[in-house]
Amino acid sequence: MQTEIVLAGFGGQGILFAGQLLAYAAMDSGKEVTWIPSYGPEMRGGTANCTVIIADEEIGSPTVRNPKAVLAFNLPSLDKYEPMVIQGGVLIANQSLINRQVQRTDIVHVMIPANEIAEEIGDKRLTNMVMLGALLHKLPVLTLEAIEKTLEERLPARRKHLLGLNSQALRRGAEFAQREPAYSV
């Protein structure tokens, strides 16, 4: 089995970190993995996206045309990647920064107020973990525990004090996705 995931938004939203965390957790779980980042030259505010492929067998190509899942952190990302999600795939959209509904009816999608949830927890920088938690509920390619374990092992020492908040954000995202009906055909 092979699962392709695209995370997309703008710089400063923690997209590359979330993708890298997903890749490390998959690798730590014994899976084959690729992680390809793409970002503009701006430090914050430019485009940022990454592609993560998680597989049970060797991955033939790191490029993805039609991902199984997309995390769209902003409206331009939703506009660009919504048409690309494979039929029956999963789209998690950050309702906090998106002013329209998902148009596709042949995919599972969740509109999640990720920024607001992160702010309720206490830090808007947790938006990426809220989105990741929602994804892993709708597409259980890895467990939340695997992500938390990888966070604990790989988070830099200067960020270790954020472990609890990151775990809380993952779980709140998953809880929201669980309560939210999954819209699909």
Cα separation, 24 vs 116, in Å, equals 27
Secondary structure class of 22 (helix, strand, coil): helix
Q: The domain 2-179: what is its CATH number?
A: 3.40.920.10
Q: Where are the domains of the chain?
A: 2-179
What is the tens place of the pLDDT at every residue in 21-62?
A: 999 999 999 999 999 998 776 556 677 899 999 999 999 888
Cα separation, 52 vs 19, in Å, equals 6
**Is the separation of the CB atoms in 109 and 93 below 8 Å?**
yes
What is the tens place of the pLDDT at every residue in 99-108?
A: 999 999 999 9
Q: 68 is written with which tokens?
A: 């199984």
- Average pLDDT value for the chain: 92
**Is the separation of the CB atoms in 89 and 67 below 8 Å?**
yes
What is the side-by-side strand order in the sheet with 2-10? Answer: 32-39, 47-55, 2-10, 69-72, 90-94, 108-112
What pLDDT is attached to residue 185?
A: 41
State the alpha helices, DSSP H only, in 2-74: 15-28
Confidence of residue 113 (pLDDT cuts 50, 70, 90): very high
What pLDDT is attached to residue 43?
A: 59
Length of the chain: 185
Please list, residue by residue across 161-181, b when 16 or more beta carbons sit within 10 angstroms of its beta carbon and e when fewer do: ebeebbbbbbbbbbebbeeee
